[in-house]
Amino acid sequence: MEFIFFSLFLLSIGIGFGIISSTPLGPINLLVAENYLSEKKIKIVPFLTGVILIDSIFGYITFLGVDKFLSKYNLLGTGIGILGGLCILALGGLGVYQQLNKKGDSKKKEVEIKKNIFLKSSAASFSKGFILCGSNPGFIAFWGWVAFNAKNWTNDAFPQFEINIYNLILFPIGIIIGDFVWFGFFSYLLKKGAEKYSAGILDNIRSIISWVLILLGLYTIYASF
């Protein structure tokens, strides 16, 4: 029974971090929106597959790397924790700043999305999602921070179980589920809004996520010492 809880914990934190990684307003969400509104919805699948795949790969590799390598070098692990905490703190602060500016600039909770032509080839769309997401320095810092915290939380909650390459598969599976949850919800809002969509819900979600990131960033820095 304890192993089931351990497995569900790995899956759950994967889902949570998958959702958090997908919500910030950036090129990925904007390209998804533009593609969704300008092409048939099926065209979005290769692009999102590339994004979700690189998410899950980085999540798995960084978690495994932190558990197997950095945990043996406390000073290096502390540095990764502090640096990751500062990056997430900055990401959360930027999110709050963007939301405050958006509220000040417009009275209407609407966002217009300019249509453009997306890549027609499925392979090119997949590659664009994979490379665009994976080459972002913030993306790399984010998953390093995730791995540092996920490892510590898992070890604290289930010290009797050892993380290995097999049971850790549940973590990237959770990330994939989390990504699907966010992009499914995002696509639903786009579908309901057609040419324009109400940004009120998105703004609220992103504001909450931004404040959560700020709190988690501060917690990570504190826990690193």
- The total of structural domains in the chain comes to 1
Q: In whole angstroms, what separates CA 18 from the centre of its chain?
A: 5
Is residue 120 within 8 A of residue 41, CB to CB? The reply is no
* Amino acid present at 58: F
Q: Would the pTM of this model clear 0.85, i.e. be above it?
A: no
77-81, 83-87, 189-193: range with lowest mean pLDDT: 77-81
User: By C-alpha distance, which of 223, 206, 217 is closest to 87?
Assistant: 217
Domain of 30, in residue numbers:
2-224
The mean per-residue pLDDT over the stretch 6-19 comes to: 94
H-helix segments, the chain: 2-22, 27-38, 44-68, 74-105, 122-134, 137-157, 170-193, 200-224
Q: What pLDDT, in 10s, does the model give residues 104-157?
A: 554 444 444 444 445 567 787 788 888 878 777 667 778 877 887 888 889 899
